[in-house]
């Protein structure tokens, strides 16, 4: 998927506020920073005895998961509930579409439930964008991951993790390692890092798992793990997505770990204060050594915590953007 501004008008209202959150493609740096700042303000909610704010009271958020997920689904549920929304979660992969119903028919049935927001996860790239184009105007759509295309809230929670541990992006070297070809997380991270001003974005992996055209994201490519990790501030490991692979892309998982697994010895190539990240689920002994995943430089569990705050920020901002657009439309009709 080529970075483009084509999706920008759909995602933003006439005031430039967030209306849908489908991809990081074309979103301005100011908006990404606003998402991070808003999420920062929500982090303390998780430390309260009553972990709720009333921003979405009376609103209904419908989690529509055409593809299985645990971490993303539960953090979206927690985020919506902490905003005081009513939450419905539908595992559509085991219901209507498996019986032959089209995506459009499923959408119309969901609209009939009078939800205010859909969080959509789908195995096909572009599914969330399709739903946003065809949904009724008052409903906001949030992309919880679509095919190989985008996972924008994961990208933003990774940015929040980096910012809270490293501060500004302007002087950082960040390495993204592993199965880039099949990773929607990698694409969202590359776009976010570039937009936020990171000057040195490195992509490390075997040639068979590096898609053509990565240079357009402003990244440097490495096939040698030790060379790519040298003096980086952040290491983002990716899951090896065997379920998306076709043919002999890798000789074996043990061979992948030998060449590209993050061990204590390999991590020593990075800066001494480098942080280690992973979107999960972790395959220990395939992508990362347990001593690293559980070590002092790992911020993997912090990512989960920050994910709730980012999703609270996106849900609240999109709902606010939808409300502002309705007010604008109403005033124009007068």
DSSP 153-192: HHHHHHHHHHHHHH--STT-EEEEES--TT-HHHHHHHHH
Please give the mean pLDDT across all residues of the chain.
90
Peptide bond into 209 cis (omega under 30): no
User: Mean pLDDT across the stretch 131-143?
Assistant: 92
Q: How far is it, in rounded angstroms, from Cα 25 to Cα 39?
A: 20
- What pLDDT, in 10s, does the model give residues 168-197? 999 999 999 999 998 999 999 999 999 999
Same fold: 8-151+305-333 with 152-299: yes
State the first-to-last Cα distance of the chain, in angstroms, to the nearest integer.
41
User: Is the model's pLDDT at 288 over the cut of 90?
Assistant: yes
Question: Does 266 belong to an annotated binding site?
Answer: no
Question: Does 154 belong to an annotated binding site?
Answer: yes
What the block records as the tokens of 218 is 């402003």
Q: How far is it, in rounded angstroms, from Cα 172 to Cα 170?
A: 6
Give the pLDDT confidence score for residue 253 in this predicted structure: 83
Domain 152-299 matching CATH 3.30.43.10: the answer reads: no
User: Mean pLDDT across the stretch 100-129?
Assistant: 86
Contact 38, 313 (CB under 8 A): yes
pTM score, two decimals?
0.92
Question: Does 281 belong to an annotated binding site?
Answer: yes
Give the pLDDT confidence score for residue 265 in this predicted structure: 96
Topology of the domain comprising 8-151+305-333:
Rossmann fold (3.40.50)
Q: How far is it, in rounded angstroms, from Cα 97 to Cα 253?
A: 33
Question: Does 333 belong to an annotated binding site?
Answer: no
Give the pLDDT confidence score for residue 104 in this predicted structure: 79
- What pLDDT, in 10s, does the model give residues 36-64? 999 999 999 988 989 999 999 999 999 99
Question: Does 81 belong to an annotated binding site?
Answer: no
Domain boundaries, the chain: 8-151+305-333, 152-299
Question: Does 151 belong to an annotated binding site?
Answer: yes
Give the pLDDT confidence score for residue 94 in this predicted structure: 55
Question: Does 134 belong to an annotated binding site?
Answer: no
Question: Does 269 belong to an annotated binding site?
Answer: no
Question: Does 99 belong to an annotated binding site?
Answer: yes
Closest C-alpha among 327, 280, 326 to residue 137: 326
User: Is the model's pLDDT at 160 over the cut of 60?
Assistant: yes
What the block records as the tokens of 105 is 């028919």
């Amino acid at each position: 998927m080529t970075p483009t501004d084509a999706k920008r008008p759909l995602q933003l209202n006439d005031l430039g506020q967030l209306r849908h959150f489908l991809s990081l493609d074309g979103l301005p740096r100011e908006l990404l920073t606003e998402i991070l700042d808003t999420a920062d303000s929500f982090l303390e909610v998780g430390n309260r005895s009553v972990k709720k704010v009333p921003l979405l009271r009376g609103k209904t958020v419908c989690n529509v998961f055409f593809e299985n997920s645990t971490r993303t689904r539960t953090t979206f549920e927690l985020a919506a509930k902490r905003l005081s929304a009513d939450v419905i979660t539908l595992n559509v992969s085991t219901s209507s579409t498996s019986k032959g119903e089209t995506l459009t028919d499923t959408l119309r049935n969901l609209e009939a439930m009078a939800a205010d927001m859909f969080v959509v996860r789908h195995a096909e790239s572009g599914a969330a964008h399709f739903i946003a184009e065809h949904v009724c105007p008052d409903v906001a759509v949030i992309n919880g991951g679509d095919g190989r295309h985008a996972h924008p809230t994961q990208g933003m929670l990774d940015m929040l993790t980096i910012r809270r541990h490293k501060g500004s992006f302007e002087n950082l070297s960040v390495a993204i390692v592993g199965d880039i070809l099949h990773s929607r997380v990698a694409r969202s991270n590359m776009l976010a890092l570039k937009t936020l001003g990171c000057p040195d974005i490195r992509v490390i992996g075997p040639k068979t798992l590096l898609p053509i055209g990565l240079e357009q994201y402003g990244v440097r490519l490495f096939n040698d793990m030790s060379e790519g990790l040298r003096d980086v501030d952040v290491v983002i490991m990716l899951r090896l997505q065997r379920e998306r692979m076709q043919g002999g892309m890798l000789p074996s998982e043990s061979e992948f770990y030998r060449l590209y697994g993050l061990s204590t010895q390999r991590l020593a190539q990075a800066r001494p204060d480098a942080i280690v990240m992973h979107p999960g689920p972790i395959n220990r002994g395939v992508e990362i050594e347990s001593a690293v995943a559980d070590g002092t430089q790992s911020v993997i569990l912090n990512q989960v915590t920050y994910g709730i705050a980012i999703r609270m920020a996106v849900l609240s901002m999109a709902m606010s953007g939808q409300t502002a657009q309705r007010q604008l439309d109403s005033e124009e009709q007068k």
